[in-house]
Chains A and B, each alone.
Chain A
Amino acid sequence: MMIMDGNGNGEGKVYVGNINVSARKARKLLMSDLKLGKLVDWGTAFSLWPIHLTTSCCGCEFAAAWSPRYDNEQHGALPWIGPRQTNLIIIEGTVTKKMACAVRIVWEQMPQPKFAIAMGACALDGGIFYNSYNIVRPWQIVPVDVYIPGCPPRPESVAKSIIMLQKKIREKQVASKFIEEGWRPDKEYVIPKEDLCSWWRG
């Protein structure tokens, strides 16, 4: 590649550009000029893959929501087994203190940008276990985007929550802003105040 500057000094020489400047220019081109952020939001909204982490009895409704009758896969959501291939966590019902450790570990393993849905009355404020000594609220351990009320919620409301999350991602441009800024500006990151996993391995 032959590049000459204005005075004709570069004749016969090869120049390699500054990689940081090129990356910045490319990001400006893609995100601002070509509006690729819309594509990222669209892609993220239709590939919300929830992790299979059944904390409690609402998991039955969660399973029914992906059965042929209610078919949530039409919204682009597919339950998956490995936390490193998923970007959505649906907390199904009560979270005991022992399970809260597992929820938090799974949440940390998931790649960004990631989302959380809390399902059922127990996940809102404790439900019938509101004064139990052995539960935590999901909003104390992960930042929750959408709450589903009900005991248990119907599979239709699970589908509705997926659609609400899709709307939120596309209207607030959550995924593309994450790429631009490196974190989610619309949601505070939650760090659990309680010590969850210290009893593990003594």
Chain B
Amino acid sequence: MSPEELVERIKSLLGEFVKDVKIWKNDYIEVEVDKENIEEVAKRMKEFGFDHVKDLTVVDYMKEGFFRIIYNLGSYDNFELSYYIVGIAYNIPRDKPVTKTLYYTYTSADFQEREAYEAFGIIFEGHPDLRPVLLSPPVAELKPLRKDFVVKEDPEIITKKK
């Protein structure tokens, strides 16, 4: 299956949900959808053959005022589809970062959503266990991967006590 054929099949599968499709490097396809349709899109993609979430990426567009959330889907079972990674991308407003969870469609999105929660403060509605994975709660409250989090630039210098 060539990437162009896969794009045609995804377009016919998702229909009017698709806003934009891009092909990157012959094996990565980015499909942009709306925030409201994400659960229906995920269900259809799972029935199509993409059976797990490889990765969840969040990009902070601070000036434009939105977060772009990308679920990278892959396939284990379908040999033809396993060559491709399909990214389902959608934007949410930055001042109200609330979206729906895909936990009940893709169980492998569980920890990825928790990481997005701790690093960006995005709240996934309906997630059964939304707490920080790697960071301790006081650090997670700072939302350290947002663009407006100020990173200290100067190194600390140890001086000998006199």
Contacts and interface: CB of A to CB of B under 8 A. Distances in A.
Given A98-B136, A125-B158, A199-B136, 11 more contacts: A97-B135, A97-B136, A97-B138, A101-B136, A131-B151, A131-B154, A133-B139, A133-B142, A134-B135, A134-B139, A137-B156
A145 B142 CA distance: 34
Contacts of B155: 125-126, 130-131
A1 B155 CA distance: 71
B156 A134 contact: no
Nearest to B134: A98
Contact of B144 (A98, A130, A133, A195): A133
Contacts of B135: 97-98, 134
A106 interface: no
Contacts of A130: 155-156
Interface residues of A, number: 15
Give the bracket for the number of chain B residues in contact with chain A.
10 to 19
Main secondary structure of the interface of A (DSSP, over half): loop
Contacts of B153: 131
A101 B135 CA distance: 13
B160 interface: no
A53 B105 CA distance: 39
Given A125-B158, A126-B155, A133 B149 contact: yes
Contacts of B151: 131, 133
Given A133-B144, A133-B149, A134-B144, A126 B156 contact: yes
A199 B138 CA distance: 7
A101 to B, nearest CB: 8
A80 B102 CA distance: 45
Interface in A28-54: none
B25 interface: no
A124 interface: yes
A37 to B, nearest CB: 28
A151 B6 CA distance: 47
Contact of B157 (A97, A125, A131, A195): A125
Contacts of B22: none
